[in-house]
Amino acid sequence: MRPFDQFLQHPSTLGVPLLLLAGVVLGGLIVRWLLFRAIRSWAAGTDSHLDVLITQSLPIVLWSLILGIHIATQNSEIPRRYLHYIPNTLAVLWILSLTIAMSRLAGNLVRFYGGGAAGAKNVTSLTQKLAQLLVVCTGLVLMLKIVFNTSLTPILTTLGVGGLAVALALQDTLSNLFAGFHVSVSGLLHIGDYIKLNTGEEGYVTDINWRCTMIRGVTNNLVVIPNSKLSQAIFTNYALPDPRMALSISIGVGHDSEVDRVEAILLEETTSAASSVKGLLSEPAPYILFSPGPGDSALIFQINFTIGEFADQNGVLSELRKRIVKRLQREGITMPFPTRTVIVESKNPV
C-alpha cells in the first residue's frame, strides 16, 4: 500500500500535526499582538525607539511557523524517512530569519542611536548598510559551519582568488565605497552640514551612501557627488569646528560725520538687534572697526558680528542693514553716493 493511501485511511496521521502547526502559529500571532501592543503603549509616553526596533526587527510569525513545523513533525506518525530534510531545512530557515532580524535591528540601532555617541551627529545610510552587512556575513558563516558543517578554509581561499577578479572589475564602485566609508568615519563631514566644494557645488549634506554623497543646494535641488571625487576635493565645511559664523557689513557715511559718534551708533544698533533678530548672536559681542577708513567719497566703517549658523546669514544681513539705514537717517547722518572730481586741462588757453 502506498504511503498516501495509508494517510487517507488514518487521517490522524496528518490531522494531528496540522492541528499542532495551526495552534502554534495562532499562539505566535496572539503573542505578537500582545507584545507589540504593550511595547507601543509603553513607548508612546517616552522618547524611546524601542517600539520601532522590535516591531520592525522581530519576525515572530515566521518563527512561530518554524516552531510549529518542528513540533508537528516531532509529534507525527509520518515515517522518518519522509522527514529526512526537515531538520536541516528548519535550521537554515531559523538562522536566516535570525540573521535578517539581527540585521534590521543593527541598522535601526545605528539609525536611532548612532548619533548619540560623543561627538557624533546623524548617521549615514552607508553606516547602516555596513552594520547590516557585518551581521549578514556573520549569519552566513554560522549557517555554513553549524548546519552544513562546512570547512571555511576552501571557501575563504576561493573568495580570495575570486575577490581579486571582482576588485579589478569593480574598481570605480569599490573606490566610491571605501571613499564613502572614509568620509563617514573621518569626522570631517556630517549629515546636515553646509559645505562648499572648490569646484563650486554647495549645499546641505543629506546622505552618504555606498556610491555617492548627496547635498541639497540653496535652490532646493539635489547635487550628487561621487564619493571618490569628494574625498579628493577641497571643500569648506561651514559647520566645523563650530556652526557659528563671523560676518561683517561695510557702511559708508559722509566725510563731515563725527567718527566716534558714528561708531557708537553702529555698535548700539547692532548690539540691540542681537536680542531680537533671529540668528544674530550677542556673544561674542559685536564690534566696530574704522576700516578701511577714509574713502574717495565716504568714511567707511566695518560692522563685525556673529551668527548662529550658515543658514541665518541672509536674514540677518537684510534685517541689520535696514535697522542701520533707518537709524542713520533718524540721526541725520548722510550716506553719500560715490563722487569723483574731474579736472579737465586745456592745452590751448584763450
DSSP secondary structure string for all residues of 79-94: -GGGGTTHHHHHHHHH
Task: Check the CA dihedral 56-58-59-61 and report its sign.
Answer: negative
Q: Given the C-alpha cell 549658523, which residue does it identify? A: 309
Per-residue pLDDT of the chain (350 residues; tens, 9 = 90+): 455 555 555 555 667 777 887 888 888 888 888 887 887 777 776 766 666 677 777 788 888 888 888 787 777 766 666 667 777 778 888 888 888 888 877 777 776 666 554 444 456 777 777 777 788 888 777 777 777 677 666 666 666 655 555 555 556 777 778 788 778 777 788 888 888 888 888 888 888 888 888 889 878 888 898 888 888 888 888 888 888 888 898 988 888 888 999 999 999 999 888 888 888 888 888 999 998 888 878 889 999 999 988 888 888 999 999 999 999 989 888 888 776 667 777 666 55
Res 118: pLDDT: 40
Res 123: pLDDT: 64
- Quick count: other Cβ atoms within 10 Å of Cβ 188? 14
Q: What is the pTM of this model?
A: 0.58
Single-letter amino acid code for the residue at 151: S
For residue 203, what is the enclosing H or E element? strand 202-208
Question: How deeply is 330 buried, as exposed, middle or buried, from its count of CB atoms within 10 A (0-12, 13-18, 19+)?
Answer: exposed
Single-letter amino acid code for the residue at 171: Q
Res 350: pLDDT: 52
Q: What is the CA radius of gyration of the chain?
A: 35
d(CA 29, CA 236): 54
d(CA 283, CA 260): 23
Distant-in-sequence, close-in-space partners of 316: CB < 8 Å, separation ≥ 6: 247, 277, 278, 279, 280, 305, 307
Among residues 257, 268, 254, 258, the alpha carbon closest in space to that of 303 is found at: 268
d(CA 208, CA 1): 65
Cell numbers representing residue 251 in the block: 557702511
DSSP secondary structure string for all residues of 13-71: HHHHHHHHHHHHHHHHHHHHHHHHHHHHHHHHTSS--HHHHHHTT--HHHHHHHHHHHH
- Our measurement of the distance from residue 245's CA atom to the centroid of its chain's CA atoms, rounded to an integer in Å, reads 23
d(CA 105, CA 97): 12
Q: Are 24 and 69 in contact (CB under 8 A)?
A: no
Res 158: pLDDT: 62
Residue ranges of alpha helices (H) inside the chain are 3-9, 12-44, 50-55, 60-74, 86-113, 125-146, 152-169, 171-186, 227-232, 259-273, 313-330
Cell numbers representing residue 148 in the block: 552544513
